[in-house]
Structure 1
Amino acid sequence: MSDTNNKTNSILILITIFAVSINLRPAITSIGPMLETIRNQLSLSNAQVSLLTAIPVIGMGVFAMLSPILNRLFGLKRTMYVMLILIGLMTALRGFISGYFILLSTALIVGIAIAITGPLLSAMIKQNFPNRAASVIGVYSFGMGVGSAASAGLTAFFFESTKSYQFALSIWSVLAIIGLVCWFLTMRGHIEVSQKNSNEKKGISMESASPWKSKKAWLFLLFFGLQSSAFFSIITWLAPIAIASGMTLLQAGTLLSVMTTVQIFLNILIPLAMERFGSRRFWLLFMLISGMISIVCFWTGLYPFMWVGAFIMGIPLGGLFPVALLLPLDKTENAQDANAWTAMMQTGGFMMGGLLPLVIALVYDYTMNHHFTFIIMMALYVLMLILSFLIENKGQEMST
């Protein structure tokens, strides 16, 4: 009976991780297909409208370190309730109040809520599934991929159906209701992320307790930042690039949907494959080379190659995030340290990820040429390729 209860609880936790994680991208990724529409209707520059995706991602970086602090002060249960409610309310608010300021302020608050939620989910995974972290990270990233794919692909459809970008952006608040219901059902078991382990009780100092002093943690941060920059740059700018190449808004949205559909399947398939077959370096090289090939396809501006590029780009978008999340889980010994290392990694990483789409916008405003956009994107993948050679095959240690 006890084994049955444990299995039921594990399944419920997995469903809840998925239900919470689908809320961690739509408020950001739904902006991409609406970038041109919002810019035109509100008379904004490319840099101004790009802030709508840059601000929440930068906020995710700046406030990620609040996650372990709030967990200590209020516990996992209360903290996650508040974060899900904030994500839902801020997303819904976009449908009732118009204007650039409300879009910007809701984006910032959503970014803060996501910043705190992400490391807590990683800590839950470390605590409840210590021997299956790769597989469960796949569930986490799969949920994020579903949220990204749905919002990237359907936001343009909702706009075409209603002619209201406000409705198209705010509809994603319904996902928060799903997350809250699942969280309520799971929290009846009073699951919390423990704050101490046996070693700490005995007074033994753990190296991973101070990630800011670790060279490995800084390398993790850099890799996470590069993959985050690549992800948000592609998600934000692929639709405007496609429109600039002559596609309609609906075609550009479909292109984005193809890419994110491939992504969501690989979000879970690549972690499972890494757990069973081969070294992580092999998978890293496969994903990074795929990303470079995809950028070349986009760069041609030819429709057939752009569709092929969208399909191929789903490979790195689907695999690099879970690989990055696994780095601190491999290194740490307990849930508390996993929370701290993940928060540290995401602090700098998301700040990088938020700035790059803004840099692209500033460069494009100045040059009105997307060739520079592709140069920046290609540079991100080249840097990740170089960094991947510092990662050992098992992803547990990095060369110093």
Structure 2
Amino acid sequence: MIKSIKIDNNSRLYIIGIVLIAMALRPALVSVGPSINAVKDSFGLSHALVAMLISIPDFLMGALALPMPYLAQKIGRDKMILVGLAMIGMATAFRGMATNVAGLFISTAIIGAGIAIVGTLLSGFIKEKFPNRTSLIIGIYSTTLSIGSTVAAVSTTPIAEYAGSWRISLGIWGIIAIPGIVMWQLISRRELGNPPSETPGKRALLPWKNGSAWKIAVYFAGVNLIFYSLLAWTVATLTERGISAESAGWLLGCFTLCFMLASPIIGLVSRGADRRKWLVGSALLAACGLLGIGHLWIDAALLWISLTAIGLGAAFTLGMTLPLDFTVTPAQTNSWAAFVMAVGYLVASIGPFLLGSLRDATGNFTLPIDVLIGAALVMAIAGFFLVPSQRERILGTVG
């Protein structure tokens, strides 16, 4: 499979760049989960307010996705990616030093804006450089996102215990952006001599009226609503059900690890234009795991966490791949990716805050988990009706 890819020097550089960037995109978010109770107590926040540390980046990742293709054409894609990486690195470090709630949330907002810039534009880059192997490269990208998530999930609590403060365990992850910045500068210099094949003035329209685009967006929204809600509240949910904080932190690490393992596998096996069986199967697997987390034997928590993570990991890679399936050019891919990410992350931003609010209102996480089960079922329905069409792939992005 991998042998069929032509790996020249440029391709190696691109893959390394994608990997290093992906490593930097999730630790600033994932590290919040293991630290959420400490941050809540330190600033005297409610469950709903502290959940904004996840919801704010999600919201900005959605809101800023729409103008990204336009800004990339005006300013330059590679420059925008470098700016986004710098924002992630500096804001993550500054958040660890925040002395008030305003500083905490402003730095969090800058992190979300940086992730929005990088995440949106990288899809078009992958489409341009690897037009015939998008599923595999997206699988590599998704896997690396999960590696960064797993490292942060497993390491944040021990770092906080060793340092004696949650501030260091949150701020230290800004360092991870540095290798990505260095590598992307090298790529930017190479790209000066390799201009994109599309004419600079050509821009695909956002697919507001395309039914398939909306189904993809609903599916992607469900994946991220569940994922970021679990990042915020898995540890708190499991400790509420009787598991120690340390064990709950390791289970969050298992969640991100299983998510990671599922991503490249689905990228290899889900071939062809019709991915509906994989879309539906992944969503239903996540729903089964969530049912166990919220209602079934807590002694089997590792099983429930694993099922949920495998389903979501597969679904995430599929959701990232679908805009590339339904588009032809990098400009179209950027527009579809921007649309899907905008809708997806705006909806997902509601998740952590909604679950925190429901926890405040009900006194437990039973109803919040039921909401996530419902989201997984909506994903399954959207995936079932996502019928591929060659005509839509070529013409659907203009309306």
TM-score by length of 2: 0.91
Kept in 1: contact 2:17–2:180 (CA 8 A): yes
Residues 5, 140 of structure 1: CA spacing in aligned structure 2 closer, same or farther, 3 A cutoff?
Answer: closer
Q: Secondary structure at the match of 1:98?
A: coil
| Corresponding residue pairs, total | 389
| Residue aligning to 2:353 | 358
Q: Confirm or deny that 1:300 pairs with 2:286.
A: no
Kept in 1: contact 2:277–2:384 (CA 8 A): no
> How many angstroms does 1:83 deviate by?
0.8
For 1:226-237, what aligned pairs fall within 5 Å after superposition? 226-237=222-233
In structure 2, what is the Cα distance between the partners aligned to 1:216 and 1:292? 23
> How many angstroms does 1:51 deviate by?
0.7
> How many angstroms does 1:188 deviate by?
2.4
Kept in 2: contact 1:193–1:335 (CA 8 A): no
| Residue aligning to 2:338 | 343
| Residue aligning to 2:139 | 138
| Residue aligning to 2:8 | 7
| Residue aligning to 2:313 | 318
Kept in 2: contact 1:156–1:249 (CA 8 A): no
Kept in 1: contact 2:281–2:380 (CA 8 A): no
Could you tell which deviates more after superposition, 215-224 or 188-197?
A: 188-197
> How many angstroms does 1:15 deviate by?
1.0
Q: Confirm or deny that 1:256 pairs with 2:252.
A: yes
The CA deviation string for residues 231-254 of structure 1, in whole angstroms up to 9 with x for no partner, is 111221111101112222211110
> How many angstroms does 1:369 deviate by?
2.0
Q: Confirm or deny that 1:196 pairs with 2:198.
A: yes
In structure 1, what is the Cα distance between the partners aligned to 2:32 and 2:74? 34
The CA deviation string for residues 12-45 of structure 1, in whole angstroms up to 9 with x for no partner, is 1011111111222111111111111111222110
In structure 1, what is the Cα distance between the partners aligned to 2:388 and 2:323? 15
Match of 1:113, as an amino acid?
A: G
> How many angstroms does 1:300 deviate by?
3.5
> How many angstroms does 1:197 deviate by?
5.3
| Residue aligning to 2:271 | 275
Kept in 2: contact 1:154–1:253 (CA 8 A): no
Match of 1:347, as an amino acid?
A: A
| Residue aligning to 1:35 | 36
| Residue aligning to 1:369 | 364
In structure 1, what is the Cα distance between the partners aligned to 2:167 and 2:306? 29
Match of 1:24, as an amino acid?
A: L
Match of 1:122, as an amino acid?
A: S
Q: CA RMSD in A?
A: 2.4
Residues 378, 73 of structure 1: CA spacing in aligned structure 2 closer, same or farther, 3 A cutoff?
Answer: same
In structure 1, what is the Cα distance between the partners aligned to 2:339 and 2:22? 19
Could you tell which deviates more after superposition, 188-197 or 143-152?
A: 188-197
Residues 5, 386 of structure 1: CA spacing in aligned structure 2 closer, same or farther, 3 A cutoff?
Answer: closer
In structure 2, what is the Cα distance between the partners aligned to 1:273 and 1:232? 26
Which blocks of at least 5 consecutive residues in structure 2 are unaligned? none
Residues 362, 332 of structure 1: CA spacing in aligned structure 2 closer, same or farther, 3 A cutoff?
Answer: same
> How many angstroms does 1:393 deviate by?
6.6
Q: Secondary structure at the match of 2:76?
A: helix
Residues 234, 193 of structure 1: CA spacing in aligned structure 2 closer, same or farther, 3 A cutoff?
Answer: farther
In structure 2, what is the Cα distance between the partners aligned to 1:220 and 1:213? 13
Match of 2:38, as an amino acid?
A: T
The CA deviation string for residues 298-332 of structure 1, in whole angstroms up to 9 with x for no partner, is 12364421111112222122111111111111111
| Residue aligning to 2:149 | 148
Kept in 2: contact 1:364–1:373 (CA 8 A): yes
> How many angstroms does 1:94 deviate by?
2.0
| Residue aligning to 1:25 | 26
Q: Secondary structure at the match of 2:208?
A: helix
| Residue aligning to 2:171 | 170
In structure 2, what is the Cα distance between the partners aligned to 1:122 and 1:370? 35
Q: Confirm or deny that 1:213 pairs with 2:202.
A: no
Residues 315, 229 of structure 1: CA spacing in aligned structure 2 closer, same or farther, 3 A cutoff?
Answer: same
Kept in 1: contact 2:225–2:349 (CA 8 A): yes
The CA deviation string for residues 342-385 of structure 1, in whole angstroms up to 9 with x for no partner, is 11111111010011211111111111121101210110011111
Kept in 2: contact 1:263–1:314 (CA 8 A): yes
TM-score by length of 1: 0.91
> How many angstroms does 1:397 deviate by?
5.9
In structure 1, what is the Cα distance between the partners aligned to 2:97 and 2:195? 37
In structure 2, what is the Cα distance between the partners aligned to 1:148 and 1:311? 15
